[in-house]
Amino acid sequence: MSESAAEPNSFLRIEAVGLDGQLLPDAAFTVFVNGKNLAGTESTQGFMEIQLSHPVRKLEVEARYKGDKRKIRVAAGTHVVKVQFDPGRRPPPIPAGPTQTPPQGPCTHRQRWGGLSEVSGRRLSAVVTDIDDDGFYFDLVVEATDTTPLQPPVRFHIHEDYVRPCQNINALTPDKLSARWREIWTDEAYVAAAQVRDAAGNWIGLEFDLNEIPELPKKLKDPKWIAWNKTNHPRPIPGKKMIVLTPNDLYRIKVQLKPVVDGGLLNAALAMCNVAPANIAPGGLDDRLTNALEYLSPRGQVFEFLEALASVNSAASHVTDHWLQRKWKDGR
């Protein structure tokens, strides 16, 4: 028989503390006994004290503080549990403005974060990694110029036309002096931004205008060429680099979708991707799914198709979420 997490009449104190070890009075707790919520154990005082009158096989505590939530399992024989939170970890919300309209079109981050690329020992820059006929790939980089280590997360902001316009980066370089959002694709130059904590732990905003990158071809800064390119070479999902899906990936997607997709749902998702049913070879559901994925893959529309499926039928979400998470992980 496994050891109980708590013996009869055992006493347990749970505390939420900051990085300095002080109690956080706004923290809240819920206790779960053997997987079920223990009635009457909700607390919002920063600590909780309970006494259990019977043996407990599995004891868990959920602690919440300002949107941060952690669930921990209490080891057998434990009488005091301290859950540590970083009160300054969550960046402040995006400010309402001001905004300006640069020549190439609306840019929601210009002057929103103070207009500077370097503030208080922190600097935002961009590094071009590849240039193609229609646009370019780049990395956004935040560096500590005062040699004090960065504190994750670093939140990056790109143009709001992207499917995912902001990203928290927790991974730092080994010296903790740099954070990077990798391989972002765009067909125009705009103002990117970042939120990062300075040496004192205060959140600051940074801006970087991609027009300042010297190696960019002039056409990528030309409003007329950008407008022409968007019209003649539309992207299914603006600015996102699509990872390459192998035939085995497509087969796995088909197998996972088949139980939750019917002909009507398939046609609806294809229509949302601007794909006419006539472009997909006829057949049974298995064949049509195969033909649809093989049609969409070379056009870079598989992820758009998965997002469309999830938006029109929640039953498909558990399948599509796995692949969409992989997309962001691999495409970063």
Per-residue pLDDT of the chain (332 residues; tens, 9 = 90+): 344 455 555 777 888 888 778 888 878 888 888 777 775 555 567 787 877 766 777 888 888 887 777 888 887 777 888 888 776 666 776 665 444 333 334 456 888 888 899 999 999 999 998 887 777 888 899 999 999 999 988 989 988 776 667 888 888 888 999 998 877 878 788 899 999 999 988 899 999 999 899 888 887 777 787 777 766 655 444 334 444 567 777 888 888 888 778 888 888 888 888 888 788 888 888 888 888 888 888 777 887 788 788 777 766 666 666 566 555 433 33
Nearest residue to 305 via CA among 227, 259, 253, 240: 253
* Paired tokens of 37: 């919520």
Grouping H, G, I as helix, E, B as strand and the rest as coil, residue 127 is strand
Q: Assess whether the region 10-84 and the region 118-232 belong to the same CATH fold.
A: yes
pLDDT of residue 87: 67
pTM: 0.52
Whether residue 160 contacts residue 166, with contact meaning beta carbons closer than 8 Å, is answered with no
Nearest residue to 241 via CA among 135, 141, 140, 107: 135
**β-bridge pairing 10-17 and 80-84:** parallel
Q: Tokens 């049609």 map to which residue?
A: 295
| CATH 2.60.40 matches 118-232 | yes
In angstroms, rounded to a whole number, what is the distance separating the alpha carbons of residues 320 and 16?
A: 36
- The CATH homologous superfamily to which domain 10-84 belongs is Carboxypeptidase-like, regulatory domain (2.60.40.1120)
- What sign does the CA torsion over 230, 231, 232, 237 have? positive
What's phi and psi for 201, nearest 5 deg? 90, 5
What's phi and psi for 325, nearest 5 deg? -65, -40
pLDDT of residue 175: 92
Nearest residue to 82 via CA among 92, 72, 90: 72
Angle at 51 between CA 46 and CA 55, to 5 degrees: 130
pLDDT of residue 137: 81
Condensed to tens digits (0 to 9), the pLDDT of residues 210-261 reads: 989 988 888 777 778 777 776 665 544 433 444 456 777 788 888 888 877 8
